[in-house]
Structure 1
Amino acid sequence: MLSFASDGYTTAVRVAAILRATTNRKGFPIGVMMLCENDNIIMRNPGQMITEILSKMDFVIPVLTDGYFAALKCPDSRARLVDERYIQFIHDVVMSKYILSQCVSNVRPVIPTHLVNSILSKPEFVHNSIFHAWRSEDESQALANGIINSRRSRILPQ
């Protein structure tokens, strides 16, 4: 699942395309979930649907931008992008899972290449250990390869 604010949308779309184009040895692609692509399903019961989706995800990939951290700090229910509206909720669910699993993280953040230095210096990044296994956007193929080769990965036919 990709999690992003509106200023990370373009990066999220690029990362999703790379992930979806990467296949395992049996030829199955990495499944990618973006809330905005499933808005009609999500909005029926957002909390329940997102929690259910997260329970089925091998990895959560937040796109770390200024907008992401702003939404994490102060959610905006008026945000046009459904993904941005639920950043804090997704983060809270992921943090609960992280704590319950004794700090085993399934979070693999991506930082837009032009923002790497800026994001790495943010206190919100530095003090949140689930963000530390990050890659820059230009390393998205390496991220995809890592997902394919992970023991956690349950890539199934779509």
Structure 2
Amino acid sequence: MVFEVNGTSQTLTLDNRTTVLDALREHLGLIGAKKGCDHGQCGSCTVLLDGRRVKSCLVFAVTVDGRSVVTVEGLAEPGELSPLQAAFIAHDAFQCGYCTPGQLCSARGMLDEVAQGWPSAVTGDLDAPAELTDAEIRERMAGNLCRCAAYPHIVAAVRETAAGGRAAAR
């Protein structure tokens, strides 16, 4: 199979039972996405598949042939931080850090969904652009768990990035 990972074409020969998560970690050495629950419940393995958030432990690698995957390692240029990563640091939006790669990929995907006008379960006016309130951010990030409970900091980092705040300007 051939697919793009963080802008680079990758060719792998894999067992058809191999997940995207295992292909990334075990075959490509990209260890940012974490194996938390291995059941799609925690979100630690979240990556972007063709720009959409997916839990990579639930997706068979053979299904991404010809497609594009972005991991936490691909969110910024080497040696730099993306505005979202800078905001996570500025707001101390992680503690142990285990869930952080999945949180970052999910937040990037969520911000792109908002920019495209996608509503969530708590979006009030479906005809107006979504306003990223704390409740809206929490709902959209609900698929990513943090055992350290850094949620208020994660929400603040996402809100600041969406608003183009000081961390986003870095």
TM-score by length of 1: 0.25
Higher helix share: 1
TM-score by length of 2: 0.24
